[in-house]
Amino acid sequence: MEERIKIEYDALVIGAGIAGGEAALNLANTGYKVLLVEKDHSLGGKMILLSKVFPTLDCAACITTPKVSEIARHKNITIFTESEVTHVSKRGQNNFTAEITKKPRYVHVADCTACQLCEKACPVNVTDEYQYGLIGRKAAFIPFSIANPKAAVIDIENCTLCGACERVCPTHCIDFTMETELYELKMKTVILATGFRLFDPLEIPRYGYGQYKNVITSMQMEREIAPTRPYNTILRPGDGKVPDKIAYVLCTGSRDNTVGNPICSQICCMYSIKQAQLLMGALPMADVTIYYINIRSFGKGFEEFYQQAKGMGVNFIKGKIGKITEKENGNLILRYEDISSGVVSEAEHDMVVLSVGVQSNPAVSNIFDAGSLKLDFHRFVAQKDLMGSPSKTSIDGVFVAGTASGPMDIPDSILSAGSASSEAISYLSQPQQQ
Amino acid sequence: MATKINPKFKDELKKYGAVNMSACYNCGTCTAVCSLSSTEESFPREMIRLSALGIENEIKSSLKPWECYYCGECTNSCPQTANPGELMMSLRRWLTSKYDWTGLSSLLYRSFPATIAALILVLAGTLFFACSRDFNLEEMLHYGHRFEIIAISTVFLVIFVPNLLRMWYFTIVKPKVRTPLKRYFSTSGELFVHMFTQKRYKDCEENTHFRWFEHMILVFAYLSLLFTTVFLNWFATYNLFFIILGYVESLLIFAITFDFVGSRIKKSRTLNKFSQPSDWLFVTWLLLMGITAFLVRLFIDLNLTESVRWVYLIHLIVLAQWALIIVPFGKWTHFLYRSFAMYFSQLKTQSKEPVSESAQ
pLDDT at residue A257 in the model: 95
Helices (H), chain B: 9-14, 29-33, 45-53, 56-60, 64-67, 73-77, 84-99, 104-110, 112-132, 137-154, 161-168, 181-186, 188-197, 210-230, 240-266, 277-301, 305-321, 327-329, 334-352
Distance separating alpha carbons of residues A231 and A75, to the nearest angstrom: 38
Q: How far apart are CA A311 and CA A300, in angstroms?
A: 19
> C-alpha angle with apex B240: B234 to B242, nearest 5 degrees?
40
Mark yes or no for CB contact A336/B32 under 8 Å.
yes
Set of chain B residues whose Cβ sits within 8 Å of the Cβ of A257: 78-81
Confidence of residue B231 (pLDDT cuts 50, 70, 90): confident
Instruction: State residue A159 phi and psi, 5-degree precision.
Output: -70, 140
* Per-domain boundaries in chain B: 9-98, 104-351
Q: What is the pLDDT of residues B19-45, one digit of tens each?
A: 899 999 999 999 999 999 999 889 999
| Distance from C-alpha of A343 to C-alpha of A323, rounded to nearest angstrom | 15
Asked if pLDDT for residue B356 goes beyond 80, the answer is no
Q: What are the φ/ψ torsions at residue A243 (nearest 5 degrees)? A: -70, 145
- CA of A249 to nearest chain B CA: how many angstroms apart? 12
Q: What percent of chain B has pLDDT over 70?
A: 97
Looking at residue B358, what is its pLDDT? 45
Looking at residues B327-353, what average pLDDT do you find?
A: 90
Indicate whether B359 pLDDT > 80. Answer: no
pLDDT at B355 over 60: no
- CA–CA separation, A344 and B249 (whole Å): 41
Q: Taking CB atoms and an 8 Å cutoff, what residues of chain B touch A256?
A: 79
CA B103 to chain CA mean position, Å: 17
A333 at the B interface (CB within 8 A)? Answer: no
Q: Is 90 exceeded by the pLDDT of residue B349?
A: no
Query: Which of B340, B347, B351, B343 has its CA nearest to residue B96?
Result: B340
Average pLDDT of the segment spanning B273-286: 90
Separation of alpha carbons A388 and A399, rounded Å: 14
- Cβ atoms of A223 and A230 closer than 8 Å: yes
pLDDT of residue A433: 56
Contact between chains at A338 and B77 (C-beta distance less than 8 A): no
Question: Half-sphere exposure (CA, 13 Å, Cβ side) for A72?
Answer: 17
The nearest CA of chain A is from the CA of B331 a distance in Å of 30
B24 touches chain A (CB under 8 A): no
Which residues in chain B have Cβ-Cβ distances shorter than 8 Å to A264? none
Q: Tell me, yes or no, if A323 comes closer than 8 A to chain B by beta carbon.
A: yes
> B95-124 pLDDT, tens per residue?
999 999 999 999 999 999 999 999 999 999
Return the DSSP state at B333.
G
Instruction: Compute the Cα dihedral for B172, B175, B179, B183 and give only its sign.
Output: negative
pLDDT at B206: 63
Which neighbouring-strand residues pair with A99? A87, A184
Each residue's pLDDT tens digit, B310-338:
899 999 999 999 999 999 999 999 999 99
Q: How far apart are CA B317 and CA B295, in angstroms?
A: 14
Taking only the tens of pLDDT, chain A with its 434 residues reads 445 555 789 999 999 999 999 999 999 999 999 999 999 999 999 999 999 999 999 999 999 999 999 999 999 999 999 999 999 999 999 999 999 999 999 999 999 999 999 999 999 999 999 999 999 999 999 999 999 999 999 999 999 999 999 999 999 999 999 999 999 999 999 999 999 999 999 999 999 999 999 999 999 999 999 998 999 999 999 999 999 999 999 999 999 999 999 999 999 999 999 999 999 999 999 999 999 999 999 999 999 999 999 999 999 999 999 999 999 999 999 999 999 999 999 999 999 999 999 999 888 888 998 778 999 999 999 999 999 999 999 999 999 999 999 999 999 999 999 999 999 999 999 876 54
Say if the Cβ atoms of B32 and A256 lie within 8 Å: no
Q: What is the pLDDT of residue A369?
A: 86
Per this entry, what is the length of chain B?
360
Q: Given an 8 Å threshold on Cβ–Cβ distance, is B39 in contact with A339? A: no
Helix B334-352 crosses helix B84-99 at what angle (to 10 degrees)?
A: 90
The answer to whether the beta carbons of residues A9 and A393 sit under 8 Å apart is no
Distance CA A335, CA A214 (A): 16
Residue B354, Cβ density class (10 Å: 0-12 exposed, 13-18 middle, ≥19 buried)? exposed
Residue B360: pLDDT band with limits 50, 70, 90: very low
What's the pLDDT score for residue B304? 84
Give the DSSP letter of residue A233.
S
List, in sequence order, every residue forming a beta bridge with A392; answer none if it has no partner.
A399
**What's the start-to-end Cα distance of chain A, in Å?**
33
Measure the CA–CA gap between A318 and A339, rounded to whole angstroms: 6
- Spell out which residues of chain B touch residue A262, defining contact as CB-CB under 8 Å: 79-80
Distance from CA of B41 to the nearest CA of A (A): 8
Greatest alpha-carbon pair distance for chain A in Å reads 74
Give pLDDT tens digits for B85-100.
999 999 999 999 999 9
Q: Distance between terminal CA atoms of chain B?
A: 34
**pLDDT for res A88:** 95
B45–A contact, CB cutoff 8 A: yes
CA distance A262 to chain B (A): 8
Query: Which residues in chain A (172-211) have CB-CB distances under 8 A to chain B?
Result: 206
| Alpha carbons A108 and A151: distance in angstroms, whole number | 8
Q: Spell out which residues of chain A touch residue B81, defining contact as CB-CB under 8 Å.
A: 257-258
Of A320, A342, A345, the CB nearest to B46: A342
Q: Determine the residue among B19, B20, B29, B49 to mutate to test chain A binding: the one whose Cβ has the most chain A Cβ atoms within 10 Å.
A: B29
